Chain A
Amino acid sequence: MAGVAWTGVHKRYAEIEALRGVDLEAGDGELLVVLGPSGSGKTTLLRVMAGLEPVSAGAISIGGRDVTHLPPARRNVAMVFQSYALFPHLNAAENVGFGLRAREVPKRERRERVAEAARVVGCSDLLGRYPAELSGGERQRVALARALVRDPDLFLLDEPLSNLDAQLRAQMRAELKELHRRVGTTMVYVTHDQVEALTLGDRLAVLDAGLLQQVGTPDELFRRPANRFVARFVGSPAMNLLNARVDADGLVAGPLRLPVPPEAARGRPLEVGIRPEGVHLADDGAPAYVRLVEPAGSEAYVHLELGDEEVVARVAADERPPPGATVRVTVSPRDIHLFDAESGVRLEWSP
């Protein structure tokens, strides 16, 4: 077991720069989730850690040992691929034992360790089957067992749940978290799904365009997003962002008026961010036109036209207004986030 660190990691491909100086670490036994949209460099981050790609600059370490120039096999990491990458011509037991066989572990010990790994992930009854005879979730388990059996210092998981249907995904998510708790090995988990990230991770690292945007606990990311990108990317539906300015009377965003002290803006053009659950329908407040209502079980997402801007409000299902209605909206100053309109960086202030 060991912590891992990326230090000043750059990765350039012929034309694109996938990683532009990433400093990130995960503590011993931690479950670090790397969250980012496609093309953000998150998979590259895993691949340089695994040694499948060399870094262009910077260093990689596992357990304090510099592994930047070590071949993948000598880093003692296990990776679960998005497609699982099970060998189709081998049955589940042979797949799980593949690495042990490559390392010439005696047959008897191999069999015991395969059985043990299969037991831990709950695929003991699948060992005789071929990948083509397994369902998505079963393949997932076999792939996890294959990663587990070598007793690696580090687990790398590359969007391992993205090929599963929604129900199975939720179940496997819970099982993964439980598995991590039991084996206690450091895990780096890459995903573009923020729900997965928020529920799974001890800590989250948000990556965009090869740059680390913010690292923190799920709560920190959700409550105090460091910039506009994190604010929009974490949380569903996404945070509303409105152009705003602050004058002597407070903050003005279209028809919305909020008591915000002028010094909060530091004289800069602003964007104000409001989560959908922070937009309340009320008897008085700024007038808004209901353009669309999306029911979502116990709640509903109401798309509103507020001045020139579109705003989504999250309301209880039985309080949703009909489309086409005009409603009034209030926002509590406690629920707003301020961002510099140019750089997108969060501006701290206190009500």
Chain B
Amino acid sequence: MVAGSLRRPGLPPPRSPELLPSDPSLDAYRQAFELVDLARYTVNSLVVAALIVPSSVLVASWAGFAMSRLPARHARALVATSLVALMVPLTALLVPRFAIFRTLGLTDSYWPLVAPALLGFSPFYVLLYYWSFRRLPGELFEAARLEGLSPLRTWWRVAMPLVRPVTTAVALLVFVYSWGNFLDPLIYLFDERLFTLPLGLRSLAQLDRQNFPLLLAASVVATLPVIVAFLYLQRFFLQEGARRRWTRGAA
């Protein structure tokens, strides 16, 4: 993808594979930014992700924590409900969702994109948190209660620090989803100034279907943040993996 993006725009694809184009150039990048407002789309995508990721983590972990503290009977009922909710195909929700947001007058804004995050994004993440919290020894939470911590502070001071790898994973998954989400922005966003990167790429492809260096350059721009995010967060996975023994050792 990178190699292709460095070719001069307008040239046909090479006949044989090449590691680097013989005459590399950044023209494709310049053109991509000129033809469509790639910079604005990138910022838009980042804004959307910045809204979605923290609120998903917050709400999913709250819900999971609450579930893990409920009596087993109630928690089981909620798990069953979550699983049922997970089985509803998202495509089945497209039309009713659109109808709801249009009635509320929230189309052509980021609300429809952010709204799922305010509900924990997906029952899957709630369940992920629920299972992680449930695996922690209950005595830790009882000790916190005896020390006078409110449930909210127990969540923040005791529960969350002990499931950091889960938080990393949830944040990354939600980020990747939000970053690559094409369908929802396509449905809800009409104003070009609000477009996110996937929509931008799409309009670029529609402008010049044959200009591969151009499309590849834009794709590189769109992919880079995800790779950077992964490389950055990967350290946490490894570190937490090595430190996991504390949970087992001390509990």
Contact = CB atoms under 8 A, between A and B. Distances in A.
Contact of B137 (A79, A83, A99): A83
A12 to B, nearest CB: 14
B139 A132 contact: no
A88 B249 contact: yes
A54 to B, nearest CB: 13
Contacts of A229: none
Contacts of B247: 88
B147 A99 contact: yes
A87 B247 CA distance: 9
A71 B150 CA distance: 11
A50 B142 CA distance: 10
B66 to A, nearest CB: 18
A102 B250 contact: no
A195 interface: no
A103 B157 CA distance: 13
A289 interface: no
A85 B142 contact: yes
A50 B153 CA distance: 20
A81 B137 CA distance: 11
Contacts of B147: 73, 98-99, 102-103, 150
Given A83-B137, A85-B139, A87-B140, A131 B146 contact: no
Interface residues of B, number: 22
A348 B54 CA distance: 72
A89 interface: yes
A207 interface: no
Interface in A132-177: 132, 134, 139, 150
A100 B153 CA distance: 14
B148 A99 contact: yes
> Which label, helix, strand, loop or mixed, suits the secondary structure of the B interface?
helix
Given A88-B249, A131-B246, A139-B250, A72 B140 contact: no
Interface string B68-80: 0000000000000
A226 interface: no
B146 A132 contact: no
Nearest to B140: A85
A103 B144 CA distance: 12
B97 interface: no
Given A81-B139, A102-B153, A86 B146 contact: no
A82 B146 CA distance: 15
B77 to A, nearest CB: 15
B90 interface: no
A103 B139 contact: no
A222 interface: no
Interface string B17-34: 000000000000000000
Contact of B146 (A72, A88, A139): A72
B162 A88 contact: yes
Interface string A63-94: 00000000111100111011111111100000
B250 A131 contact: yes
Given A102-B148, A102-B149, A88 B143 contact: no
Interface in B141-166: 142-149, 153, 157-158, 161-162
A82 B139 CA distance: 9
B139 A83 contact: yes
A132 B153 contact: no
Nearest to A89: B161
Given A88-B246, A89-B162, A103 B140 contact: no
Q: Which 10 A-B pairs have the closest CB atoms?
A: A73-B148, A131-B250, A99-B147, A85-B139, A88-B246, A132-B249, A132-B246, A85-B143, A88-B250, A89-B161
Interface of A: 50-52, 71-74, 77-79, 81-89, 98-99, 102-103, 130-132, 134, 139, 150
Given A85-B137, A99-B146, 9 more contacts: A74-B148, A79-B142, A84-B250, A87-B143, A88-B249, A130-B250, A132-B246, A132-B249, A132-B250
8 contacts: A52-B146, A77-B146, A79-B142, A84-B250, A89-B161, A102-B144, A102-B149, A132-B246
